[in-house]
Amino acid sequence: MKARVFITLKSGVLDPQGEAVRHSLGTLGFQGIEAVRQGKVIELTLSETDPARAEAEVRAMCEKLLANTVIENYAVELA
Amino acid sequence: MKAAVIVFPGSNCDRDLAVAFERATGRKPAMIWHKDQDLPDGLDVIGVPGGFSFGDYLRCGAIAARSPISRALVRFAERGGHILGICNGFQILTEAGLLPGTLMRNAGLKYICRDVSLTVQTTDSAFTNAYAKGQKVTFPIAHHDGNYETGSDTLKRLQDGDRIAFTYDDNPNGSIMDIAGILSENRRVLGMMPHPERLNDNQLGGEDGSLMFHSLTQALVSA
């Protein structure tokens, strides 16, 4: 079973990298971009076959290591 | 005073930190590899050095904070031990939950390596009691992710508890409230982005940093 973890900055946390990307897109002529927030995707391949157990396990991984919950949110998607 | 320095793969300030401890105490600190499970007995202070532990993978300090030795480090802190985390060491201490907040990418997105002027905000700790409150000191910084960020509740706790140890006089990285270093609630864990261990010898540009190690030695000599 595969799991995807999406890690994003919490709203209110300044994202200087996203801001730089937004600015660069503006200089390329893309218009109407109100905000850019940069995050990361982590793909996991698990031996677990039960979706509920897999999700619980991946959420525990997020809490313990994959996300810094001081500034980041995470979402888990199973496939 | 018995000191130790933890060494992670990618640490690069561990030997400078060891020299700073040795100059202040007259004894070589123990160098502890990150895979060690236990700390030597009778330690008074542990230094967590700067560098790029584990290549800054995932987040700066995140993987080091889950190393076997970091569990021993947390237990050491819980027993009231003193810990000094510098630069990547500060990032590791926040990731390990020993200090609040986090260090984000510098607001200007650039790695910054230069001397900066700091103000000593509190002398109420073993690390800073040899300085004067409000004293200006010059320490080098060398980081890409030193932009201290925390919620307003934590910020208020840091202010009310007199736990902001150093502030930047000319904020280089966007840190909230110009914060360069903070203390734990029991005042025995200090995390800071600037490098006191790098200005520890007049022949190498200055001695502002050596006061911190003398301060520690004096405070902990009877411990």
pLDDT digits (tens, 9 = 90+) for A36-77: 999 999 999 999 999 999 999 999 999 999 999 989 999 999
Distance from CA of A34 to the nearest CA of B (A): 19
Residue appearing with tokens 């932009």? B147
Best residue in A5, A10, A14 for a mutation probing chain B (most B CBs within 10 Å): A14
Q: How far is CA B85 from the centre of its chain?
A: 3
pLDDT confidence bin for A12, thresholds 50/70/90: confident
Amino acid identity at B132: A
Q: Is A76 helix (H, G, I), strand (E, B) or coil?
A: strand
Beta-carbon separation of A16 and B95 below 8 A: no
Please count the other Cβ atoms lying within 10 Å of the Cβ belonging to residue B47: 28
Distance from CA of B44 to the nearest CA of A (A): 29
Q: Is A46 helix (H, G, I), strand (E, B) or coil?
A: coil
Question: Is some CB atom of chain A closer than 8 A to the CB atom of B111?
Answer: no
* Res B222: pLDDT: 60
Q: Which of B13, B34, B87, B95 is catalytic?
A: B87
* Res B60: pLDDT: 96
Q: What value of ipTM does the predicted structure carry?
A: 0.83
State the greatest distance between any 2 C-alpha atoms of chain B, in Å, as a whole number.
44
* Res B223: pLDDT: 52
pTM of the model: 0.93
Q: How far apart are CA B91 and CA B191, in angstroms?
A: 8
For strand B3-7 and strand B45-48, is the pairing parallel, antiparallel, or unpaired?
Answer: parallel
- With contact defined as beta carbons under 8 Å apart, do B147 and A54 qualify? no
- With contact defined as beta carbons under 8 Å apart, do B23 and B212 qualify? no
pLDDT digits (tens, 9 = 90+) for B191-219: 999 999 999 988 888 899 999 999 999 99
Domain locations in chain B? 3-220
* Res B88: pLDDT: 98
Q: Average pLDDT of each block of 10 consecutive residues along chain B (223 residues)?
A: 96 97 95 95 97 95 95 97 98 97 94 97 97 97 96 96 98 97 98 96 90 94 65
Select the CATH number that applies to the domain covering B3-220 from these four: 3.40.50.880, 3.30.1490.20, 3.90.400.10, 3.60.20.10.
3.40.50.880
The domains found in chain A, sorted by start residue, are 2-78 (3.30.1280.10)
Our CA angle for B45, B46, B47, nearest 5°, is 125
Beta-carbon separation of B62 and A17 below 8 A: no
Known catalytic residue at B195? yes
